[in-house]
Chain A
């Protein structure tokens, strides 16, 4: 039973129903004409997700195995975690410091282990960004909330 409920499509459909139902609460406070389109879309999402859920459960009942979403969950989770960590580091520590660390670290952790190549790529990427965006276009990057406080 638990296997049937942990199928990716079933979980996604349940997730959509919960989130869409959650959004219906603030929608109730809107003027009817302002709420028309959002409520129609939220109800549409709920109904369609229920259809998707039933269809997926029928497949499960017929013995059809669910397709796994990824062949290597650890790598996918690691990639997402690194990207989020890079965004947080940029926000709190600053763009350049985070980028100098993130570019070689990501490439190294995911299989490119040539030290010279990593160093060269980091210098080229960070140098090009500074030259084009900072120097050429006067683009400001996050300096880091920690240093600003």
Chain B
């Protein structure tokens, strides 16, 4: 089962594939360090540029960015109390007080070592759990695949939290976008309005760039954040090897937070922020002196940073095996896989083992490289990034978005379409409509329709074919549980509150 994993290793350590991971980690740290930019946005902007690249080079860049950005978010969180990414909020609790005491450098070193440990644990979890799960999913027929798609959509809508009506609207929108273009069986036009550019359907890249890159750019221009800047000379940074002995007491926190992060990553809909908060609370609860937490306790930084990196690769376990992403970044990465003709799901492991297992190694190398690239020297340099003017950054990202989308097919139509999706994405973002269900709807919508129609053809139009075997029924039961579970839980909490009051 794991022989394919070992066979993929020589390919990954080739120059171009390894260089892609290095560049990705550096770019990820830069992006993560910029408040307002996120790994999701960076990967969305990057995806169109990877068209001409080898799949492993493109995936290496994405794996590097994801790992790097999760750590990069800690830099402004520690130095300015502004989390660079949502997952770094818990890092501010103790990281910033440490910086105020002149221990900002040590806080960043704890963050980088913890991030690397979390990332390594997560990559091992991906390597160990994904192959056996893929063996099971290979047995699925069209009706099971249809139910997997429905389960994926249901889980991301209902486990994401927030307003389920908005989640459902997002998913319906995504699925509707997936049906635009030629009918997969009869080839008739659907909702193209005579536009030849839309016959092949709407490229996921156009949707990703519009939804995930345009709203943050508008935010960058809307509220230019004014900071006092950071002088790297005041960080109090010493070489990382000198700082390591001070961290040897953190091993329990690293272990606990890695488990929490991996588990949260696997759960569809949950993400790095939840992992970091849960891990921080657990570490504080088990601490001998919890009263010191919040005043500059390095273990607090270790707990949140380990967990928010431990959910990176593990979020790809359901994404690669079932096509259900655990986080928004994983959803965008699925888009990246599709760009290279790799359909996430059971067949990916059979048809492209070198790529999928290579991708897992790249996650591991990305996590290890964090220590080397995010060490003391790099941390000093990255801290200076916070002084970059945001309006300038915004204008550069706009240019990159235009180039990226235009280069897919060499036509401006796609750029206008991207701007349309960007406007929709901005409204959705402001009204708190979740964006991951849109992406998942686009990915799974076509997939679900194709398999539903195939199943109906096999069953000669009998809808009962969808409920004829045990696997389908288990998947239906899981889908119902995912929908009903949060509602029951909410009712129980409400009743408890009423009883208490």
Contact = CB atoms under 8 A, between A and B. Distances in A.
Interface in A43-88: 44-45, 48-49, 51-52, 55, 69-72, 75-76, 78-80, 83-84, 86-87
A26 B191 contact: yes
Given A30-B188, A110-B394, A140-B410, A69 B431 contact: yes
A103 B430 contact: no
Contacts of A70: 222, 430
B419 interface: yes
A41 B395 contact: no
A31 B415 CA distance: 31
B277 to A, nearest CB: 24
Contacts of B430: 8, 69-70
B406 interface: yes
A135 B467 CA distance: 57
A129 interface: yes
Nearest to B445: A37
Contact of B399 (A72, A75, A102): A102
B416 interface: yes
Interface in B181-198: 183, 185-186, 188, 190-191, 193
A142 B394 CA distance: 22
A71 B431 CA distance: 14
Given A49-B169, A110-B224, A142-B412, A76 B392 contact: no
Contacts of B391: 106-112
Nearest to B180: A38
Interface string B78-100: 00000000000000000000000
- Name the interface size band of chain A: 35 or more
B327 to A, nearest CB: 24
Contact of A76 (B193, B222, B389): B222
B398 A86 contact: yes
B124 interface: no
Contacts of A125: 396, 399
Contacts of A76: 218, 222, 426
Contacts of A3: none
Interface string A125-147: 10001000100010111100000
B338 interface: no
Nearest to A108: B391
Interface in A106-126: 106-112, 114, 117-118, 121, 125
B427 interface: yes
What secondary structure prevails in chain B residues at the interface with A? Answer: helix
A34 B190 contact: yes
Nearest to B398: A83
Contacts of B52: 137
Given A80-B218, A84-B419, A41 B175 contact: yes
A107 B191 CA distance: 38
What secondary structure prevails in chain A residues at the interface with B? Answer: helix
B217 interface: yes
B431 A8 contact: yes
B224 A111 contact: yes
B295 interface: no
A12 interface: yes
A9 to B, nearest CB: 6
A48 to B, nearest CB: 5
Contact of A79 (B168, B218, B449, B453): B218
Nearest to B167: A48
B398 to A, nearest CB: 6
B389 A129 contact: no
A87 B218 CA distance: 15
Nearest to A34: B183
Interface string B160-184: 0000011011001101100100010
Contacts of B427: 12, 69
A93 interface: no
Contact of B398 (A36, A102, A109, A117): A102
Contacts of A16: 169
Given A30-B188, A48-B165, A106-B395, A79 B221 contact: yes
Nearest to B52: A137
B168 A121 contact: no
A74 to B, nearest CB: 10
Given A8-B430, A71-B222, 10 more contacts: A41-B172, A49-B169, A51-B165, A70-B222, A83-B398, A102-B398, A105-B395, A107-B391, A114-B389, A133-B403
30 contacts: A8-B431, A9-B431, A12-B431, A16-B169, A26-B193, A33-B185, A33-B456, A34-B183, A42-B176, A44-B168, A48-B169, A70-B430, A72-B223, A75-B221, A76-B222, A79-B222, A80-B426, A83-B398, A86-B402, A87-B412, A87-B415, A87-B416, A90-B402, A90-B406, A90-B415, A106-B395, A107-B395, A112-B391, A137-B52, A142-B412
Closest 3 CB pairs between A and B?
A110-B391, A106-B395, A79-B221
Interface of B: 52, 165-166, 168-169, 172-173, 175-176, 179, 183, 185-186, 188, 190-191, 193, 214, 217-218, 221-224, 389-392, 394-396, 398-399, 402-403, 406-407, 410, 412, 415-416, 419, 422-423, 426-427, 430-431, 445, 448-449, 452-453, 456
